[in-house]
């Protein structure tokens, strides 16, 4: 018998992590990889497994102790000759019961001998499953709000994608710098989720990201920093509007350096946590620009020169980039995109925002609060065109009183760089109506959407189809036309949302690991504009229903009858629910008002669970809350509301 020390293995950047659970005591017989203690940081819960089988001799820690890499947890009596086993690999909580569930699989490249299979069962798409982006169970689900994904490559995947063969079909390229069971290209929310889930399922993962920090556009220069600035904007406007509460504040002193420090601190916490989670999962990260060299090889241009990654499977998560309008002076730093706008270099006196969608209006919210005179120009006849007009109207009424101008059915025909600013020449959308006179602005933000990066990764060298818009078609298991290559996120189609990408990521990783029964079956994907007030919607919209001839019923609750909204001085909101005619099952919802982005989740769950108006109206909601507005809308539909006069019977 030999005695070995059980130490905390490499758990990334985490140090001094408290022990929250101890699963052993002296005398216990433990198997290899059995969980011994559980650690919890502010970013992750990590289990420390036994490096080998044996009997616990002595426990060296107690509950609440803080440990780091190399700290001794316990001593273990093991059989002679077994004391040199490799150190244990830490396990995330979510990996319980699934680590090592499958190896890698893939089709062989031409002329390459396949190494032995790893025992993974074949991943064969179920022929009865719908194409990607189409609801399961026929068309009825689409009528109940599955149409949020109709504008991209979804549903255009291979009509009969070949089954993924068991084992790997690609020999390790002898000259490759790295080899991966699963290569993930892009480390945004979809990419890192795919990498982490694949690692939890026992795969050897390489994650390639062009930037130094994980998290992609969303965490670094998109969703997260914008929400930090929007919070600051809300604090400013709340103070400005406090007089109706009998409260008056002086004009805020804005410290741009301090505001940038706050924003960057939020980003650093999240991206730093991701780096630690990647290291704890033994995910190899490679910084550089990746492009395919062949169906089983990726070339990565790094700061240290060209490196290559061979792979059995690949998940493309290369995202999107800001769209541009031809002819604008992009070499002029006064012309901003969302990334440079979030850098917050200065607050302009006058700012033009081209695009009245979510990104444009969120940045307008920030810069207006910080003191800029904002003009928004939109080619269409309304703001946030994807949402119903009645849901957007309260937002539009509010910002019309704050912004310098809102120009609808108008486009910027020319943008000239002058010493005194950028001169915008406007035209009417129809080319016939009178257009506003040219104006000079200190800064112009271009926010006219995003375009996928499908044409930037040399996908053709891997044989992966990319459509004319740059999207990569996939099936309902996220598989491209090349069976061992998958794609997720912005690059596979709209809506381009992080929360869509993360669900697609887990699906792709699980299918690769052998969970062939898994398929995309989401009934809806919610959208949120984090403006003031917020605008959120999900499922079927009235606009869509009318265009498709779908019969529906609706119930609208105006927040002027909400005690909570009145107490906050923000009663301009409304909550609208759409129901299938007759059955009154929830098929769509739209909410505008404070925290609408939080409130929409209940309606998403209702649609996914097939709930009807009665289910919601019989669910007790806390009072007084804004969440009651969903309850009240359901009561209106059910004819049981008492806080308002019941609707007249039709």
- Contact indicator for 127, 82 with CB cutoff of 8 Å: no
Of the candidates 547, 638, 627, the residue with the CA atom closest to the CA atom of residue 584: 638
Tokens 């790295």 locate to 178
Q: For Cα atoms 266, 272, 275, give the angle at the middle one, nearest 5 degrees.
A: 150
Helix axes 189-200, 498-512, angle to 10 degrees: 30
Q: Phi first, then psi: give them for residue 371, nearest 5 degrees.
A: 115, 0
Rounded distance between C-alpha atoms, residue 225 and residue 215, angstroms: 12
Per-residue DSSP letter, 191: H
The residue with tokens 């741009």 is 256
Count Cβ atoms below 10 Å from residue 433 Cβ, excluding itself.
10
Report residue 394 as tokens: 């309260």
Integer Cα distance of 404 and 424 in angstroms: 15
- As to burial, measured by CB atoms within 10 angstroms (0-12 exposed, 13-18 middle, 19+ buried), residue 430 is exposed
Kindly name the residue from 173, 313, 503, 623 that is annotated as catalytic.
623
Phi, psi of 57 (to 5 degrees): -90, -50
Segment (H or E) for 633: helix 628-638
DSSP string, 541-580: -HHHHHHHT--EEEEEEEGGG-HHHHHTT-TT-EEEEEEE
DSSP E strand boundaries for 323-453: 335-336, 350-354, 373-377, 405-407, 410-418, 421-428, 439-441, 443-446, 450-452
For residue 244, indicate whether it is catalytic.
no
d(CA 71, CA 216): 34
DSSP assignment of 492-535 equals: G-SS--HHHHHHHHHHHHHHHTT-TT-----S---EEE-SSSEE
Report the distance separating Cα 275 and Cα 279, nearest Å.
6
Structure tokens at 436: 């506003």
Active site residues: 623
């Amino acid at each position: 018998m030999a005695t070995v020390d059980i130490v905390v293995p490499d758990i990334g950047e985490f140090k001094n992590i408290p022990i929250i659970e101890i699963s052993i005591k002296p005398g216990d017989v433990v198997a290899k990889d059995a969980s011994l203690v559980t650690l919890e940081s502010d970013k992750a819960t990590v289990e420390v497994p036994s490096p080998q089988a044996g009997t616990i001799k002595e426990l060296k820690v107690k509950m609440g102790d803080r440990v780091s890499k190399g700290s001794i947890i316990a001593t273990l009596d093991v059989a002679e000759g077994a004391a040199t086993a490799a150190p244990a690999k830490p396990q995330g909580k979510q990996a319980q019961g699934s680590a090592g569930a499958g190896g890698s699989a893939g089709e062989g490249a031409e002329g390459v001998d396949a190494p032995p299979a790893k025992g993974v069962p074949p991943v064969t798409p179920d022929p009865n499953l719908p194409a990607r982006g189409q609801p399961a169970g026929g068309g009825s689900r689409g009528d109940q709000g599955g149409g949020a994904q109709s504008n991209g490559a979804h549903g255009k995947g291979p009509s009969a994608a070949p089954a993924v063969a068991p084992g790997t079909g690609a020999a390790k390229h002898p000259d490759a710098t790295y080899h991966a069971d699963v290569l993930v290209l892009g480390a945004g929310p979809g990419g890192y989720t795919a990498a982490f889930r694949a690692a939890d399922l026992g795969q050897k993962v390489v994650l390639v990201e062009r930037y130094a920090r994980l998290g992609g556009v969303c965490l670094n220069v998109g969703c997260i920093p914008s929400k930090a600035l929007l919070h600051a904007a809300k604090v400013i406007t709340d103070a400005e509007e406090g007089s109706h509460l009998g409260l008056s504040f002086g004009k805020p002193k804005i410290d741009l350096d301090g505001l940038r420090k706050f924003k960057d601190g939020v980003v650093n916490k999240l991206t730093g946590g991701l780096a630690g989670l990647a290291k704890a999962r033994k995910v190899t990260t490679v910084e550089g620009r990746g492009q395919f060299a062949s169906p089983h090889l990726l070339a990565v241009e790094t700061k240290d020169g060209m490196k290559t990654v061979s792979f059995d499977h690949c998940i493309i998560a290369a995202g999107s980039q800001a769209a541009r309008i031809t002819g604008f002076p992009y070499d002029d730093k006064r012309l901003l995109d969302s990334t440079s706008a979030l850098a917050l270099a200065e607050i302009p006196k006058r700012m033009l925002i081209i695009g009245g969608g979510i990104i444009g209006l969120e940045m307008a919210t920030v810069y207006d609060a910080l003191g800029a005179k904002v003009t928004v120009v939109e080619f269409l006849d309304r703001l946030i065109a994807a949402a119903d007009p009645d849901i957007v109207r309260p937002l539009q009424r509010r910002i019309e009183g704050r912004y310098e101008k809102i120009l609808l059915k108008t486009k910027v025909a020319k943008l000239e760089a002058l010493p005194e600013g950028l001169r915008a020449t406007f035209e009417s959308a129809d080319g016939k109506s009178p257009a506003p006179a040219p104006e000079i602005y200190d800064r112009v933000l271009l926010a006219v959407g995003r375009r996928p990066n499908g044409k930037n990764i040399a996908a053709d060298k891997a044989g992966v189809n990319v459509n004319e818009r740059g999207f990569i078609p996939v099936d309902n298991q996220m598989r491209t036309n090349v069976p061992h290559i998958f794609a997720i996120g912005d690059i596979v189609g709209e809506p381009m949302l992080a929360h869509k990408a993360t669900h697609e990521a887990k699906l792709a990783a699980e299918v690769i690991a052998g969970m062939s029964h898994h398929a995309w079956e989401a009934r809806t994907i919610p959208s949120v504009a984090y403006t003031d007030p917020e605008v959120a919607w999900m499922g079927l919209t009235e606009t869509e229903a009318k265009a498709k001839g779908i019969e529906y019923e609706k119930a609208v609750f105006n927040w002027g009858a909400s005690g909570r909204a009145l107490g906050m001085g923000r009663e301009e909101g409304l909550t609208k629910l759409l129901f299938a005619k007759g059955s009154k099952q929830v098929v769509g919802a739209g909410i505008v008002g404070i925290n609408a982005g939080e409130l929409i989740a209940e309606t998403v769950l209702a649609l996914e669970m097939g709930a009807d108006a009665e289910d919601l109206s019989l669910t007790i909601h806390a009072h007084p809350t804004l969440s009651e507005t969903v309850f009240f809308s359901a009561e209106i539909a059910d004819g049981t509301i008492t806080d308002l006069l019941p609707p007249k019977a039709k």
